[in-house]
A and B are shown apart, each in its own frame.
Chain A
């Protein structure tokens, strides 16, 4: 290695640090890629998997590279998004449920319920972090992308149901924390 001046050494040091962080952050792909593979295997539309997969593959390492708390947020987001990924797909096999003269797509309540679970998990985990809001936002974005892979089986209504569930699941955790402080 060539001998460097003080400023050159610092410049190269920063570069090495960012390179190392990028390498470390790329580990998040080990959580994302198997999920995308499963989505393809169970027959989710290729365009959807490619679109959401590209977003996940870019966002996850990018967030993890910025700070380790966002790497944790990515992991929490993926775990929180798993019920939303799996439940609607499982309930799809029931078909449309007839309730008298009305019909109900079971995927919609499944998306909502899995959204509630995701919201509760992400919020509870965010409370342990120093920067709660940014952690929560990062985790919810990843949850939304992961969950949409499954919820979109009910169309955009499924995705909306998921987000409504996330908001519903978040509220009690935030409120309880707020009441606990006051």
Chain B
């Protein structure tokens, strides 16, 4: 923008601030181009830039009556655009952060429907295989799953547990086949 264009914007903005409605279109046209260019450079995103420039232009026009002729109209207008660009950038950053946190929460709590179905199938299969074991083996496995306090840690129990696990594997292979 050269000096004469800048002067024209200054004159038009001063007239508009006074209440001269005929200065609206020159101000609107000139400042829209300036604000859009500034926003595009600041945001590197055409859509966001248009949003920012539009919001800045509307705020500027809302405050047009308060414009002081001693101030530089272009700098004054760019102040609005800078504020809008910063606000949009902060808002999109906050949205990204909130989105990532939200996804982490979703992933960490409830299983997905697919996971829930798989887990249910495995539980049913395990119950079926455990049901086919001898009561002594089932009891041994039950004690082992309950933890070392109830199960104890003697060599006799370890031997019993080893046999029970071998029979469980065999029963599993028999019912559901080998993973190989």
Task: Give the B-binding residues of A (Cβ under 8 A).
Answer: 1, 3-4, 9-10, 12-14, 16-17, 19-21, 23-25, 65-70
B54 to A4, Cβ gap below 8 A?
yes
A10 to B28, Cβ gap below 8 A?
yes
B24 to A14, Cβ gap below 8 A?
yes
Answer whether A9 and B54 are a contact pair too, CB < 8 Å, given A17-B61, A17-B64, A20-B63.
yes
Interface of B is mostly: helix
A24 to B65, Cβ gap below 8 A?
yes
* A-B contact list, 6 entries, CB within 8 Å: A1-B58, A3-B54, A12-B58, A17-B24, A20-B61, A20-B65
Give the distance to chain B from A11, nearest Cβ to Cβ, in Å: 11
> Contact mask B38-68 → A, CB, 8 Å, 1/0?
0000000000001100110111011111100
B interface residue count range (under 10 / 10 to 19 / 20 to 34 / 35 or more): 20 to 34
Question: Would you call B101 an interface residue if the criterion is a C-beta within 8 Å of the partner chain's C-beta atoms?
Answer: no
Q: Which of A13, A21, A65, A68 contacts B57 (CB 8 A)?
A: A13
- Name B62's closest neighbour in chain A (CB-CB): A20
Question: Would you call B99 an interface residue if the criterion is a C-beta within 8 Å of the partner chain's C-beta atoms?
Answer: no
> Contact mask B68-94 → A, CB, 8 Å, 1/0?
000000000000000000000000000
Q: Of residues B17, B32, B54, B55, which shows the largest number of chain A Cβ atoms within 10 Å of its Cβ?
A: B54
B16 to A17, Cβ gap below 8 A?
yes
CA distance A67 to B57 in the complex (A): 21
B51 to A1, Cβ gap below 8 A?
yes
Question: Would you call B20 an interface residue if the criterion is a C-beta within 8 Å of the partner chain's C-beta atoms?
Answer: yes
- Name B52's closest neighbour in chain A (CB-CB): A1
Q: Which of A3, A10, A68 contacts B19 (CB 8 A)?
A: A68
Q: Knowing that A13-B28, A13-B57, A17-B24 touch, tell me 16 more A-B residue pairs with CB under 8 angstroms.
A: A3-B51, A3-B54, A4-B54, A10-B25, A12-B58, A14-B24, A16-B61, A16-B62, A17-B61, A19-B62, A20-B61, A21-B65, A25-B65, A68-B17, A68-B65, A69-B19
Q: Which of B1-37 contact A (CB under 8 A)?
A: 16-20, 24-25, 28, 32
